[in-house]
Structure 1
Amino acid sequence: MSEHTQSFTPVFTGGIAMPTVIDPPAYAGELPPPHAQPVVVPSVQQYVSRWRFVAVVAATWIAAAAAGAGLYYWWFHSMDKSLPVFAVLVFVVACVVGSLLTAMVQERPGIAAMSLAMMSAPLATALGAGALYASYGLGWIPA
């Protein structure tokens, strides 16, 4: 049961008239005119103003400094230091992972500013812990 076929060579000489995108369709006379007009939609700003960036970073750093002071207070008064140190590790990992996840949000410059603030939050945490350490060391707060 073998079929003998001829070799096929395509002909690109314009033997078949194919409609193109430029040609109107055959039923173009039957279509009503389009009613929808194009609308220009204002885009989202692609930047954050300086004062808003500073406000976002300052709010995040204040919360991080309070967390750092609290973690240092817990570590300073704890007999077993392993759980407070583990909490600091979890806090730093949460800051890094949270900042990486929020950095992936597109077209939201406020969230991008928060991502930068969260990435630098461990620095503010260390500053808050350092302020409490200095208060203990200088005797401003009795131990």
Structure 2
Amino acid sequence: MAGEPTEPYTPTFDTGEFETPHAPVAVVDTDRPEPVPVPAHPVAVPGNYQYLKRWTFVLVVAAVWALAAVAGWGLYHWWYHSLDKTAPVFVVLVFVICTTVGGLLAAMAPRPLISALAIALTSAPLAAVGGAAVLHGLYFCEWASRCFAGLIPY
């Protein structure tokens, strides 16, 4: 066989046999122990809630969903009546990306009201689909023979 034979490796520890080169060690005074830092606890400021009331949450979500439903209605109307569907589909993609990214960015804020806005923005495409579904039902019921409340074909 060519080369040197292999041997199992056994590490050598600093037992005083060899002088190991290392950086100088700083001498620590062990007579006085350093104080251990105490983590700061969040302080509740009077007048600022650490939570959000239910009616405020519902109001924020309802307002954003109403705007998103109108946007979905308009986008579906534009898509339905356009001959080239490329631009409306691209705007729908931009709408979904903007609401998702906006919701994720708002979720990083430590305030409860902005957290409710983040939840509303993230779920805004659902409300837009609801608005588009209402308009789709209206368009479809123009040709359907039976519709419940002029909106839902059966």
Same-fold status (TM-score > 0.5): yes
Greater RCO, CA 8 A, separation 6+ = 1
Q: Aligned equivalents of 2:125 and 2:61: distance in 1?
A: 12
Runs of at least 5 residues in structure 2 that lack an aligned partner in the other structure? 1-26, 36-43, 143-149
Task: Please give the residue correspondences for 1:13-24 in structure 2 after superposition, counting only pairs within 5 Å.
Answer: none
Report the secondary structure of 2:63's partner residue: helix
Question: Residue 60 of structure 1 aligns with which residue?
Answer: 64
Q: Aligned equivalents of 2:80 and 2:64: distance in 1?
A: 24
Q: Which has the higher helix share?
A: 1
Residue 11 to residue 80, structure 1, CA distance change in 2 (3 Å): closer
Question: Residue 50 of structure 2 aligns with which residue?
Answer: 46
Identity of aligned residues (%): 51
- C-alpha deviation, 1:44, in angstroms: 2.4
Question: Residue 71 of structure 1 aligns with which residue?
Answer: 75
Residue 41 to residue 101, structure 1, CA distance change in 2 (3 Å): closer
Q: Aligned equivalents of 1:75 and 1:134: distance in 2?
A: 15
Deviations 1:40-80 (A, max 9, x none): 95262111111111100000000000000000000001010
Q: Aligned equivalents of 1:73 and 1:121: distance in 2?
A: 18
**What is the CA RMSD across the aligned residues, in angstroms?**
2.8
Q: Aligned equivalents of 2:53 and 2:138: distance in 1?
A: 36
- Structure 1 stretches of 4+ with a deviation exceeding 6 A read none
Residue 81 to residue 41, structure 1, CA distance change in 2 (3 Å): closer
Runs of at least 5 residues in structure 1 that lack an aligned partner in the other structure? 1-9, 22-39
Question: Residue 146 of structure 2 aligns with which residue?
Answer: none
Deviations 1:10-62 (A, max 9, x none): 69697xxx9x99xxxxxxxxxxxxxxxxxx95262111111111100000000
Q: Aligned equivalents of 2:30 and 2:55: distance in 1?
A: 66
Question: Residue 115 of structure 1 aligns with which residue?
Answer: 118
User: What is the TM-score when the length of structure 2 is the normalising length?
Assistant: 0.64
Residue 69 to residue 41, structure 1, CA distance change in 2 (3 Å): closer
Q: Aligned equivalents of 1:12 and 1:113: distance in 2?
A: 52
Residue 124 of structure 1 pairs with residue 111 of structure 2: no
- C-alpha deviation, 1:83, in angstroms: 0.4
Residue 80 to residue 42, structure 1, CA distance change in 2 (3 Å): same
Residue 98 to residue 12, structure 1, CA distance change in 2 (3 Å): closer
User: What is the TM-score when the length of structure 1 is the normalising length?
Assistant: 0.69
Question: Residue 94 of structure 2 aligns with which residue?
Answer: 90
Residue from 119, 138, 151 that aligns with 1:135 = 138
